[in-house]
Structure 1
Amino acid sequence: MAGTEPASAINRRRFLLASAAAVAAGAPGTAGALLPRQRAHPSVRDASRMPARTTRRPAPYGTTTLETTARLGGAPHTGTYRRLVPGPGWPLVVRGELAPPRAGREDRRTALACFVQFTDLHLADVQNPLRTEFLRSHAATAWRAQEALTVAGAVALVEQVNALGGGPHTHLPPAFVMTTGDNVDNNSAIELEWFLTLMSGGRITPNTGDPTAYEGVQNSGLPLYWHPGDSALRDLDKRRGLPLIPGFLDAVTRPVSSPGLRIPWYSTVGNHDDLPGGCLSPALGDFAVGSRKLLSVPAADTAAYARALGSGDDPKSEVLKAILSRHTASARTVTADERRRLCTPHDYLAAHLDPAHAGAGPVGHGYTEDHLDGERMYYSFRIAENVIGISIDTTYRSGHYEGSLGTGQLRWLERTLAAHSSRSYDADGRLVRNMSADDARILVFSHHHSPSMTRRPDAARTDEPRHDGAEVIALLGRFPNVVAWINGHSHVNRITPHAHATPARSFWEVNTASHVDYPHHARLFELADNGDGTVSLFTTLIESAAPHRTAPGFDDLSAVGLASLYRELAYNAPGLATGARAGVQEGWAGGAGDRNTELVGITA
């Protein structure tokens, strides 16, 4: 049932990715309580019985994609640009590849945990001189028309989570939010401040450089980029039908207030949090805080840089450094801004530990003062009674968008899994008993998904071998109480069963799409014990609180209006508003079995 990521999506993601001590438990008296007999949600149906008629009715727990989803409207508004409309929700699909879904489990079910995953927010300072928008001349999808709206869109997502009541299947309220990386886009101090303020609450001004003027690509006069306020320029995107919106650039740089999450939140690091552009060398930091922004380069230079990104064999970003230096004279003069400085791992950890950003807690959001020693960005935490979360750091620090684990962290992960597993299997498949361990169901969080993890050496940590996704899968499969590995990075909804000849050693990998690209999803998780030797992990996609419909004349430039426009522009990205993917059936949104699901597994 899992969807298949199309080759075009893989190529697009490569360009976009390579460019540019506290407890969060459920409400007292709810987690672990035996639920009363539950009626299946109106949209529940088994995958084996598709298609089937779905009945919908208002739900008491807040809107999710079980009720309604954003859909592209009928005829194009202008050119290929299509407006968004509210559409029917997506049904729940029961997936039983790892364990049979036994009849009557709803009557026996015990709720264990409920939480939300954010991933790939990519809060972006679009005026940063180190951004490489010029790659768009090589591939139209290498720059996003919606990038200036990331803060407004993320605020609407926080508002949606705050409005959620009990989960649709367990009725537990979400106990926390886990971000699985790429919280920011360019590894800059100002973007990190925006992210921490977004999550914990406060005022954000998504503007850098000159406080009175926008200095990015969207008023550069180059037809390569959408100029929403220029009625005379027939740019590439207006030719596709993107609208003229006077006042857009003033609106997107105005202050916006985030209410902050009302529940605790935890943080996992991604490649864009660790490296400028998610793949560039930290040695380029002088360009980020400088006063020259390169907007276009000759085709030969763009092609050379694209080849370097594709090969991943330029960890010091020598190719880009040479291009930036060679074309300094033709670059746009912008206002230098020290707030764009690159963040070291120490900076990233220290900012999370700042009490000013504690919000609903916990202070550090998973990290503690001990993590500053050695700049370790991995930890474990208690999700609920007998449920443990483990957040791992899969990033390279030398300049690459792929992921991996170092030997030291892999061994730490093994010890942490063993500490919560009374039964495990050694590398040769022999059963090992550890009576001193406290048994718990385990959920693992990372930024990278298994296909994007390689054994590429990390030039920043040359003394340590790296380990790929297959090795992580093999390690997790040794511990029968691992329920799922939850991640992002791909910007695609995809759920993969990792089956084993010993069924208890099987687990699910849940990969969730981005909130910067179509289809703008976060994911709500609910974990329940079915009382029959199986557990169910429910996954429900959620959108932001912004209305699906934008103003008819594109004249609503309020924070809410901008958040709606953010989603609509993403749905109209090159190649998405036309063709097979326009029906929002496959591709990045995933197939039906990658969206709203009940994932059944054997309990340890």
Structure 2
Amino acid sequence: MVTPLWPGAPATVREGPMAGIATTTDRRRFLLSSGAAVAAAGVSYALPGRRSSSTQPVAGPAPAGTGAAPARPAVKRAAPYGATTLETTARLTGSGGYRHISSGPGWPLVVRGELAAARSGREDRRAALACFVQFTDLHVADVQSPLRTEFLRAGSPGSWRDQEALSVAGAVSLVEQVNTIGGGPHTSLPPAFVMSTGDNIDNHSMVELEWFLTLMSGGRITPNTGDPAAYEGVQNCGLPLYWHPDSDLRDQDKLRGMPRIPGFLEAAIRPVTSPGLHIPWYSTPGNHDDLPGGCLAPQDPYLSDYITGARKLFSVPDTDVAAFAKVLESGDDPKSTVLKEILHHNARRARTVTADPRRRLVTPHDYVSAHLDPAHAGAGPVGHGYTENHLDGERMYYIFRIADGVLGISIDTTYRSGHYEGSLGTEQLRWLESTLTAHSAHHYDADGRLVRNTTADDAHILVFSHHHSPSMTRRRDAARADEIRHDGAEVIALLSRFPNVVAWINGHSHVNRITPHAHPTPARSFWEVNTASHVDYPQHARLLELVDNQDGTLSLFTTLVESAAPHRADFDDLSAVGLASLYRELAYNTPGLAAKMGSGVHEEMAGTAADRNTELLVLRG
């Protein structure tokens, strides 16, 4: 626990092991512990989808250097295609070990006034400033990669996902949904762009990066590696540790009610065509984008050879599972020594798979260069936030124009030496401070004294990162050994010095959580908007709209969005649309979660009503 920055300020807590990495504690326990509690005060409810008829939809131009693709006709499809969670939401129905999803009622709009009072009549005064979408934690995955450590499931059932072979189909369906959004529900502004706040890919491999860039910018994806004609992963290996959808094997998942779906694996590796986003998109790096598995040593020669090689471990002794889980929990193995020892001394247990050089580990230069490739420009901008100045991979942070008078700042919070937590180095923290100063007519110095800057363009500022504040620590980064690292509390302290900072928008936790960062000087307060992943339950993105209430306050509306796929899955429909529905339904039936729906556990993942569809009020800086 870290001491609060001032009396009454929220303390910063450290997380346990990252999502997707098993320890003796279930992944759900980590996810549930990774966000601060929502303040009870200042929360009120409004009707779902309420929109003022007097809202002024002032459509600002697209970000500089970009151009949105021309509108294309939407495909008619069953709910939730074209809907937001103000109108309908996925709900589990029935009982038993496996439960289908049906379309339930939408979630209401919750007005949150902890940081600024909600003044009457604002609906008739407000002017629209910006509208955009946040993706986060897509975890586009090559599930056949030899470097994946599915064997950790022997220590925790929640450490491997039944649905992840369908990550491409699920993400394509999310792209389709965004393409149907003609205007935000509270401003009528069309979304100007999508920001993907990291963990775009799962295992730091080049083939995953190609899939991610293609699904965002448009094109054909074949989510298969190794043997071009067959699946070679854990779901047909014959071990009851994993769900075998195509066979009659009584694996541990079928014993708890998971279905048999003949043809599942063949369908999972078939080509999928993404329409690509029809609007510009930006990219922020996450730990899975920078590190194998989100926490292993990058560019290690042994691991680099292993991931492209022809041997894969499907199970290891329990003692090895426990040893690896222990170092993942502590994060004290930046060179991945324990994993390399496990791979080496279990070599005889490994099975033969088809080697594939496309799985090679991505360098920071590779990552930026691929974003800059004109083949992946899509609706723009070229580089998606990155320029040739970022090719060294050392400074993967940038600013971009959101709309007139609204500035976006993307920061890089990843440790480069092998850890799932986040931080900022001193150089980047100073850059962030100077950038904020340059765009703030006044701010407060570190001692709390007011500083005026008459030459600044006084913009409303939104900050984007992968890690949320509780997951940022002061751990030493072996890749940058001489640089001091800075945690979430220090970032909060810096942002609170600038009254024009509206919100810090992030992911990583796989939980919907909105936290007010209140300051004794009310104008220095801002919101932290943490959004759940699109690989685990509840598979959400966010539509965000910023308005000026013309009364000294701003409102940031946050509306959760599901993919375009129909809610209820049909086991006989293995088309791309059917797989996207199945992707969601399998995530809702993850071990232990479906049985606890309605007990409050689901609200820890999807968030309470005050973490979902909200109006967040803040004093205008």
**Which residue pairs with 2:187 in the alignment?**
170
Q: How far, CA to CA, are the matches of 2:156 and 2:48 in structure 1?
A: 40
Query: How far, CA to CA, are the matches of 2:444 and 2:50 in structure 1?
Result: 45
Q: Distance in 1 between matches of 2:80 and 2:229?
A: 45
Instruction: Determine the C-alpha separation between the residues in 2 that align with 1:374 and 1:121.
Output: 22
Counterparts of 2:322 and 2:131, CA distance in 1: 46
Determine whether 1:573 maps to 2:590.
Answer: yes
Q: Measured at CA, do residues 544 and 47 of structure 1 come closer, stay the same or move farther in structure 2, by a change above 3 Å?
A: farther
1:406 aligned residue:
425
Residue in structure 2 matched with residue 23 of structure 1 by the alignment: none
Alignment match, 2:553:
534
Partners in 2 of 1:408 and 1:376 — Cα distance? 9
The residue aligned with 2:434 is 415
Matched AA of 1:367:
Y
SS in structure 2 of the partner of residue 577 of structure 1:
helix
Residue 56 of structure 1: CA displacement? 9.4
CA contact (8 A) 1:19 1:278 kept: no
Conserved in 1, the CA contact under 8 Å of 2:92 and 2:588?
yes
Of 277, 301, 304 in structure 2, the residue corresponding to residue 285 of structure 1 is: 304
Contact 1:176 1:264 in 2 (8 A): yes
- Structure 1 582/245 Cα, relative in aligned 2: closer, same or farther at 3 Å? farther
Q: 2:544 aligns with which of 516, 521, 525?
A: 525
Q: Secondary structure at the match of 1:460?
A: helix
Report how far residue 396 of structure 1 moved: 0.6
Distance (whole Å) between structure 1 residues aligned to residue 336 and residue 17 of structure 2: 20
State the SS of the aligned residue for 2:539: coil
- Aligned residue runs from structure 1 range 424-503, under 5 A: 424-503=443-522
Identity of aligned residues (%): 75
**Residue 133 of structure 2 aligns with which residue?**
116
> Aligned letter for 2:293?
G
Instruction: Tell me the residue number matched to 1:40.
Output: none
Shift of 1:391: 0.2
Aligned counterpart in structure 1 of residue 266 of structure 2, from 233, 237, 250: 250
Name the residue aligned to 1:556: 573
Q: Which residue of 2 aligns with 1:63?
A: 83
Length-normalised TM-score, structure 2:
0.88
- Quick one: distance in 2 between partners of 1:60 and 1:108? 32
Structure 1 position 372, deviation (Å): 1.4
Question: What 5-or-longer segments of structure 1 have no aligned partner?
Answer: 21-45
How much does 1:15 deviate? Answer: 2.4
Whether the 8 Å contact between 1:447 and 1:488 is mirrored in structure 2 is yes
Residues 305-364 of structure 1: per-residue CA shift (max 9 Å, x gap): 000000000000000000001101111110111000000111000000001100000000
Partners of 1:581 and 1:377 in 2: CA distance: 41
Instruction: Tell whether 2:194 aligns with 1:212.
Output: no
1:196 aligns with 2:213: yes
Q: CA deviation at 1:375?
A: 3.2
- Consecutive unaligned residues of structure 2, counting only runs of 5 or more, are 1-9, 28-40, 52-77
Residue of structure 1 in register with 2:6 after alignment: none
Q: Residues 582 and 331 of structure 1: is their aligned pair in 2 closer, same or farther, counting only changes over 3 Å?
A: farther
Amino acid at match of 1:75: S
Q: Output one character per residue of 1:193-249: Cα deviation in whole Å (capped at 9) or x when no partner.
A: 000000000000000001011100000000000000111x10010011111011111
Q: CA RMSD in A?
A: 2.3
**Residue 308, structure 1, aligned to residue 327, structure 2:** yes
| TM-score, length of structure 1 as denominator length | 0.91
Residues 236, 585 of structure 1: CA spacing in aligned structure 2 closer, same or farther, 3 A cutoff?
Answer: closer
Question: CA-to-partner distance for each residue in 1:245-296, whole Å, 9 max, x for gaps?
Answer: 1111100000000000000000000000000000001212111111110110
Name the aligned partner's letter for residue 390 of structure 1: I
| CA-CA distance at 1:371 after TM superposition | 1.2
Of 15, 23, 41, the match for 2:21: 15
Deviations 1:182-203 (A, max 9, x none): 0000000000000000000000
Map of 1:320 onto structure 2: 339
Q: Distance in 1 between matches of 2:336 and 2:283?
A: 28
Q: For residue 514 of structure 1, what is the aligned residue in structure 2?
A: 533
CA contact (8 A) 2:553 2:619 kept: yes
Q: Which letter does structure 2 place at the counterpart of 1:13?
A: A
Residue 587 of structure 1 deviates from its aligned partner by 1.3
Q: For the residues of structure 1 that align with 2:343 and 2:598, how far apart are their CA atoms?
A: 36
Amino acid at match of 2:250: R
Residue 597 of structure 1 is matched in structure 2 by 614
- 1:71 maps to a residue whose letter is R
CA pair 208-107 structure 1, distance change in 2 beyond 3 A: same
For residue 463 of structure 1, report the CA deviation from its aligned partner: 1.5
Residue-by-residue CA offset, 1:26-59 (whole Å, 9 max, x unaligned): xxxxxxxxxxxxxxxxxxxx97556x88699999
Give, as a single letter, the amino acid of the residue that structure 2 aligns with 1:234.
R
Provide the C-alpha distance between the structure 2 equivalents of 1:405 and 1:323, rounded to a whole number of angstroms.
32
- 8 Å Cα contact 2:22-2:155 kept in structure 1: no
Cα distance in 2 between the residues matched to 1:109 and 1:311: 49
Q: 1:502 to 1:14 in 2, by over 3 A?
A: farther
Counterpart of 1:92 in structure 2 is: 109
SS of structure 2 residue aligned to 1:401: strand
- Match of 1:15, SS state, is coil
Amino acid at match of 1:172: L
- Work out the CA distance in 2 between the residues paired with 1:53 and 1:418: 39
Equivalent in 231, 238, 241 of residue 224 of structure 1: 241
Distance 2:264 2:313 in 1: 22
* DSSP-derived class of the 1:436 partner: coil
CA drift of 1:131 comes to 0.2
Q: How far apart, in 1, do the equivalents of 2:48 and 2:488 lie?
A: 37
